[in-house]
Structure 1
Amino acid sequence: MTDEKSVVLGDVEVIRVREWHRPFAPAADLFPGVAAEVWQANEDWLAPDHWEPDSGSAVLALQTWVLRSGGRTVLVDTGVGNGRDRPGMPPFHRQEGDFLGLLAKAGVRPEDVDVVVNTHLHVDHVGWNTVDADGEWVPTFPRAQYLIPAADDFHYGPGSDRPEVDRLIYEDSIAPVHQAGQAVLWDGRHRIDEHLTLESAPGHTPGSSVLRLASGSDRAVFVGDLLHSPVQILQPGCNSSACLDPEQAAASRRRILGRAADERELLVPAHFGGSGAVEVRRGSGGFTLGPWADFGPKRTVPAPE
């Protein structure tokens, strides 16, 4: 499935490429700090895009955001990938999807991609970094620069004390990018172009990051796994069960949400279903949801002359 829809923010086109959207895991397991009453009280807008009341499951999307900025094509996160050994992770183990076909429908060929942003190095954000070429993992995007948070590369890389599945993820999806000379490690802040800037927002992983877009009067922030569900806008202190440093993750979430509200940045998480992106407002001592994004028919911003 692909939406093949876009929004245009200033001089940047944002295209959503969605592989799937479905119940993922019990909400109580994925968000242990969110009481059942919170889901129930917000059922009228959480269901069906973000929560399945009958099963109590959180509903998530797996998607990549394609940005056309300054005449270049930028991918934000690359999903799960095909044919990967992911023991103990059934939603990601030995998957076979048509991600490259979906990119093609959005008008993107592998050789067209100039920059790949991995917001962090979890399994569902790096999988299509590489493809299997006759038994060898090689970069999917042969011309691209891959921007990888240095803190995550250190945490998950060789010599680290890591679970077996994290070793496999690094070896098939990150190490080949290094070997090809296409990896760029960064820390703190990294400017991609006049419209796009990466910033560290640690906690979910040591190197978790957000990508800020500022073009003309338009603003957006692509937050990766800083949030998995819009419930976390209402309760920003509640983490997902995948956050490695819960206290730091909550602090990063509050900081990014506060800035998004104050600067009218469109919030674009990795896994929101429905419209996929939403504005944030301050209210009642916390945050509330503003308007959802309006993804219209896909159109292309002309390249600068």
Structure 2
Amino acid sequence: MPAPGITLGDVRITRVVEWSGPIRTARFIIPDSDEETWRRNEKWLAPDFWTPAGDSYRCRIQTWVLRSEGRTVLVDTGVGNDRDRPQVPQFAGLRTDYLARLREAGVTPEDVDVVVNTHIHYDHVGWNTELRDGAWVPTFPNATYLIPRADHLYFGPDGAHRTGAPRDEHERVRRQGGKLVFDDSIAPVHRAGQTVLWEGSHRIDGNLLLEAAPGHTPGSSVLTLRSGTDRAVFVGDMLHSPVQVLEPGWNSCFCDDLRLAARTRRAYLARAAELRELVIPAHWPGHGAAEVRGDGDGFALSAWAAFPRG
């Protein structure tokens, strides 16, 4: 029996969940948001995206598996096992059966042809590698890893974001964590000669196109799917929560350039509403994706995707 998913045009999409649960509070993750908006939309935000008791933000760490033109493409690779993550203690030393879940979806590591990292954050690149005999090696031996050049430069050892002394202890830990992410999840695949560093745009095949969408990080990107009359856009961390559809000016606490992130978010939501693209973020629980429509100065959700909620 095929894994649950949806088909858009000639592309089959399934998802593999690494981790699901609450992380901090809703207004820690979306600091610009207000309690009134969450309460007003409680009927559909809870329980998938928000737990009102305790104001808990809920998310999933997941990989989108695309089968397109005879190839298997993974969009983002989660946290990974055995990681030292001082900046996110909740995921330090995480151990999951992610690879078994990937196999349940019909994919072995050897089957993967392309890995897309929408950006370089710890929860999007972790399973790029795995620990074998004390060394980090590529998890997917036959894959080409597509990594935005801007993020590779920014988070690499010579990145400008690590110049100068840290302003405080929080920034010191963040920088330390960013170096660890690069060292264990990016550098090993680059040394193995499996990376393609792209900028501007990069066509994967006739159905799939990567496009730069900076703001959340300098190299943040989206993956656009166009097959037949069907449209979708995998937006990574452009949308941590559906409340950002209602108020596209609201950034997450993880966004690097706040003005650019908000501008990019609004532009892609406007395009999705106009072209009826299915919007597929990285971390939404529930049905995982939605169609959007214009609503005054903002946007609204018009229909959930047909992915199972489980």
TM-score range, shorter chain: over 0.9
Indicate if the aligned counterparts of 2:288 and 2:307 stay in contact, CA closer than 8 A: no
| Residue of structure 2 in register with 1:133 after alignment | 132
2: CA distance between counterparts of 1:233 and 1:150?
Answer: 28
Indicate if the aligned counterparts of 1:4 and 1:17 stay in contact, CA closer than 8 A: no
Offset at 1:158?
1.6
| Residue of structure 1 in register with 2:167 after alignment | none
Offset at 1:18?
1.2
SS at match of 2:280: strand
Offset at 1:295?
2.3
Paired residues for 1:257-296 under 5 Å: 257-295=269-307
Indicate if the aligned counterparts of 1:195 and 1:213 stay in contact, CA closer than 8 A: yes
| Residue of structure 2 in register with 1:46 after alignment | 45
| Residue of structure 2 in register with 1:176 after alignment | 188
Paired residues for 1:6-45 under 5 Å: 6-45=5-44
AA aligned to 2:52 is P
Offset at 1:85?
0.5
SS at match of 1:126: helix
Indicate if the aligned counterparts of 1:14 and 1:67 stay in contact, CA closer than 8 A: yes
Offset at 1:258?
0.4
| Residue of structure 2 in register with 1:89 after alignment | 88
Structure 1 alignment gaps of length 5 or more: 297-305
2: CA distance between counterparts of 1:137 and 1:295?
Answer: 33
2: CA distance between counterparts of 1:264 and 1:38?
Answer: 25
- Deviation string, structure 1 residues 154-173 (Cα, Å, up to 9, x no partner): 00002224311111000000
- Deviation string, structure 1 residues 125-144 (Cα, Å, up to 9, x no partner): 00000011101100000000
Paired residues for 1:134-213 under 5 Å: 134-160=133-159, 161-162=161-162, 163-213=175-225
AA aligned to 1:196 is L
Structure 2 alignment gaps of length 5 or more: 163-174
| Residue of structure 1 in register with 2:69 after alignment | 70
Question: After the TM superposition, which parts of structure 1 deviate over 6 Å for at least 4 consecutive aligned residues?
Answer: none
Offset at 1:22?
1.2
Indicate if the aligned counterparts of 1:203 and 1:252 stay in contact, CA closer than 8 A: yes
SS at match of 1:124: helix
Alignment partner of 1:241 out of 253, 278, 290: 253
SS at match of 1:125: helix
AA aligned to 1:26 is T
2: CA distance between counterparts of 1:48 and 1:20?
Answer: 16
Indicate if the aligned counterparts of 2:3 and 2:106 stay in contact, CA closer than 8 A: no
AA aligned to 1:211 is L
AA aligned to 1:74 is V
Offset at 1:57?
1.1
2: CA distance between counterparts of 1:34 and 1:147?
Answer: 33
- Deviation string, structure 1 residues 252-290 (Cα, Å, up to 9, x no partner): 100110000000000000001100010010122221101
Question: Among the aligned pairs, what percent are the same residue?
Answer: 59
AA aligned to 1:35 is D
| Residue of structure 2 in register with 1:303 after alignment | none
AA aligned to 1:70 is E
Offset at 1:179?
0.5
Range with bigger deviation, 195-204 or 277-286 = 277-286
SS at match of 1:116: strand
2: CA distance between counterparts of 1:46 and 1:130?
Answer: 34
CA RMSD of aligned residues (A): 1.3
2: CA distance between counterparts of 1:64 and 1:277?
Answer: 13
- Deviation string, structure 1 residues 9-28 (Cα, Å, up to 9, x no partner): 00000001112221111111
1: CA distance between counterparts of 2:186 and 2:19?
Answer: 23
Indicate if the aligned counterparts of 1:198 and 1:212 stay in contact, CA closer than 8 A: yes
SS at match of 1:250: helix
- How many aligned positions are there? 295
SS at match of 2:233: strand
2: CA distance between counterparts of 1:33 and 1:295?
Answer: 29
Indicate if the aligned counterparts of 2:269 and 2:292 stay in contact, CA closer than 8 A: yes
AA aligned to 1:206 is P
Indicate if the aligned counterparts of 2:13 and 2:67 stay in contact, CA closer than 8 A: yes
2: CA distance between counterparts of 1:164 and 1:7?
Answer: 39
Instruction: Please identify which structure carries the higher helix content.
Output: 2
